[in-house]
Structure 1
Amino acid sequence: MTELSPAPAGVDADAVTGWLAARVPSLAPPLAFTPVVGGHSNLTYVVADQGGPQWVLRRPPLGHVLATAHDMGREHRILAALGGDRTPVPVPPVVGLSPDDSVNGAPFYVMEFVDGAVLRNEAAATRELDAAGRRRAGEQLADTLAAIHAVDIDAVGLGDLGRREDYIGRQLRRWHRQWDATRVPGIPEIDEVHAALAASVPEQQGATIVHGDFRLDNCIIGPDGTVRAVLDWELCTLGDPLADVGTTLVYWVERGEAAELLPSDGTASEGFPDRAAFCARYAAATGRDLSGIAWYTAFAYWRLACILAGVLDRYTAGAMGDQAGDGGASRFSREGLAGLAAKARSVLEEGKFVS
């Protein structure tokens, strides 16, 4: 039997093993729990048994978390609703949900492990895919986002996931409240951009599922460039689909562009379509008007600054356990947050982000 290292912070190995054994009869303990470094909110662990099968466990950060955040039941519900043959959206199959603190000290859920690559940077994208695969991955991202936005939310049982109207207004209020709760002194730009965004909200184009954090490194990519699974649904709700497009564009780094304020630059590798091609493919698939997409991109930069202020607050409090480091320290500073807010302001003022 393989000698295992102690379970990482956030996992009660014995209790989780018993819980999982009740749902996976073929389980071969003891289990190994490996933290996945790279996310900045909920904690993720790869779980492996002695026979080789793997699963993924998700739980909230350690210690205090903001009210309404890190809802494991909500994530589990979304994956269960979208999975199987219910929709064409690729998601990991779910194993089960522990909805309270009785097993592991916090709610958690387990999903099946999906084999493939998470392309967090240009080096990984170049290593895992050839140029044709990278082009396919870029096209697949547009197609997958269009598929998410085409889901019949009532038919899959997600019609009450959130309010459908005033999505941007609700988001502006939500993230500005988080900024107030975790603000870093000396960044007036975040409040200034908030005021400018709130004064110029575009008319919402329908109501769909909004993933909330759709980007290359939140997907598992197969060796041919196919999107095998979309991950990290913790910000998912109902609302304006163009908010997802704006978020994707923020993370869509083109060749030669600086990416020090962003967690990944996989799309900068040769072969990936540029932002304009991504938008054109999405627009062709959905029929939506993207002429005002710069506003949504500015909003996404501003929201990212607010989110990272909360992440910085959790890191400082030790709530990220063994998953605290990922090399993105430049963003977790006053200068990094100010840089994101400045980018939001420049995109909003110029009214252009995609050439």
Structure 2
Amino acid sequence: MTQKGQAAAGEIVEVREAHRFDEKKLEAYCRENVEGFGGELSVRQFQGGQSNPTFLLETSGTGGGKKYVLRKKPPGKLLASAHQVDREYKVMKALAATDVPVPKMYALCQDSEVIGTDFYIMEHLDGRVLRDPTLPGMSAGERAAIYDQMNDVLARLHSVDLKAAGLEDFGKPGNYFERQIGRWTKQYRAAQTDNIEEMEHLIDWLPQNIPADDSVSIAHGDYRLENTMFHKTEPRMIAVLDWELATIGHPLADLAYNCMLYHMETFSQGTLMNVNFAESGIPAEQDYVADYCRRTGREGIENWNFYLAFSIFRLASIVQGVYKRGLDGNASSDKATQYGEVAGYLARTAWDLAKR
């Protein structure tokens, strides 16, 4: 695995050829459906991200000078149950009434006549997306505060009252791991290009080793530093982003996913494996987990390696899907075809954890 790259991460570029759509139709839709929209519309694309293409909308001229963000399904044939932008929209709109920071939602469009796929439009926030988990150039105190904030917001998310938030129907409560292992095995099979021995071991081992803890909460599904936004100068999170994988799930799946970098190096995110925790201000894994347990009233976590192995297995399946879309030519980033060896690395890492 290569060390985390910074090239094009979050960079704003011209709309990729495969993702072009009728901007005049979009502008007409926005005038009718987006609060405060006015002026001439220009569209550019965020280069980062591998799943749902994301665009910066800017207005100029009379009544203009505003920015919005649009997320849409990718073009082409899609895997079942993937790229559900309506679910992203629903969960963020519901969480606006809680203490979990999310952008304001403006509109959800499920009329394919507008730009060819479902999409939604949300508030554009001006903040920092911290892509390198080692937080270079910061003081130990700043790093500690940022990680503490990430931990605190995750605990807040898992404490949201599903009924009060109107999210009781956002997924099936209970048996989360059984269903998820089945889902990601199916997704992996649909995108499989080579035989990965460790994925076969995991597909067999995971269903037989599900812990008894059947806790239920909103699970973000992709909760990591890079999918949050912080205030421009303060160590304060102003938004959790990229809710595509959110569901009613298991809080410890979210926590383990959030802790994966303690155990592996990733193509896009880097790693925490080589960090000097005492000097850097970044908490060691056991301290990070202990803080979460304190905030959520847990006395500890049994079978921690199961949760880690499951999370990395699921990521391997997602990465395999990205690679397959890259081969098929409809991924949202030019980097997708570089993911060919990554699924195997992730599977080996997950299996090593499972065997401990």
TM-score range, shorter chain: 0.7 to 0.9
Cα pair 1:294 1:347 within 8 Å, conserved: yes
Identical residues among aligned pairs (%): 33
Closer, same or farther in 2 for the Cα pair 1:140/1:11, shift >3 Å? farther
Partner Cα distance (1:241, 1:295) in 2: 14
Partner Cα distance (1:140, 1:218) in 2: 13
Matched, 1:160 2:165: no
**1:26 positional shift:** 4.3
Q: Which amino acid aligns with 1:79?
A: M
Matched, 1:54 2:59: no
| Counterpart in the other structure of 1:120 | 131
Matched, 1:239 2:255: no
Secondary structure of the equivalent of 1:89?
Answer: coil
CA-to-partner distance for each residue in 1:11-61, whole Å, 9 max, x for gaps? 321111111122346434332322222211111112122244211100011
Matched, 1:95 2:101: no
| Counterpart in the other structure of 1:353 | none
State the TM-score, normalized to the length of structure 2.
0.87
| Counterpart in the other structure of 1:263 | 268
Runs (4+) off by over 6 Å = none
Matched, 1:82 2:86: no
Partner Cα distance (1:347, 1:6) in 2: 42
| Counterpart in the other structure of 2:344 | 338
| Counterpart in the other structure of 1:249 | 259
Matched, 1:69 2:82: yes
Secondary structure of the equivalent of 1:220?
Answer: strand
CA-to-partner distance for each residue in 1:219-254, whole Å, 9 max, x for gaps? 00122221110011111111211000111011357x
Aligned residues: 332
Secondary structure of the equivalent of 1:65?
Answer: coil
Secondary structure of the equivalent of 1:35?
Answer: strand
| Counterpart in the other structure of 2:185 | 176
Partner Cα distance (1:154, 1:235) in 2: 20
CA-to-partner distance for each residue in 1:299-318, whole Å, 9 max, x for gaps? 11111111111111111111
Q: Give 5+ residue unaligned stretches, structure 1.
A: 351-355
Of the three residues 283, 287, 295, the one matched with 2:306 is 295
Closer, same or farther in 2 for the Cα pair 1:29/1:237, shift >3 Å? same
Closer, same or farther in 2 for the Cα pair 1:173/1:285, shift >3 Å? same
**1:120 positional shift:** 1.3
Cα pair 1:166 1:204 within 8 Å, conserved: no
Cα pair 1:163 1:238 within 8 Å, conserved: yes
Q: Which amino acid aligns with 1:191?
A: E
Q: Give 5+ residue unaligned stretches, structure 2.
A: 1-12
Secondary structure of the equivalent of 1:103?
Answer: helix
| Counterpart in the other structure of 1:37 | 47
Q: Which amino acid aligns with 1:76?
A: Y
Matched, 1:349 2:355: yes
Partner Cα distance (2:39, 2:271) in 1: 36
**1:131 positional shift:** 3.3
Cα pair 2:102 2:238 within 8 Å, conserved: yes
Partner Cα distance (1:139, 1:266) in 2: 18
CA-to-partner distance for each residue in 1:261-291, whole Å, 9 max, x for gaps? 3421386593322222211110000122323
Matched, 1:136 2:145: yes
Matched, 1:213 2:222: yes
CA RMSD of aligned residues (A): 2.1
Partner Cα distance (1:252, 1:345) in 2: 15
Cα pair 2:133 2:225 within 8 Å, conserved: no
Partner Cα distance (1:49, 1:148) in 2: 33
Q: Which amino acid aligns with 2:102?
A: V
Cα pair 1:72 1:99 within 8 Å, conserved: no
Q: Which amino acid aligns with 2:243?
A: W
Partner Cα distance (1:161, 1:122) in 2: 30
Cα pair 1:94 1:110 within 8 Å, conserved: yes
**1:133 positional shift:** 2.2
Secondary structure of the equivalent of 1:118?
Answer: coil
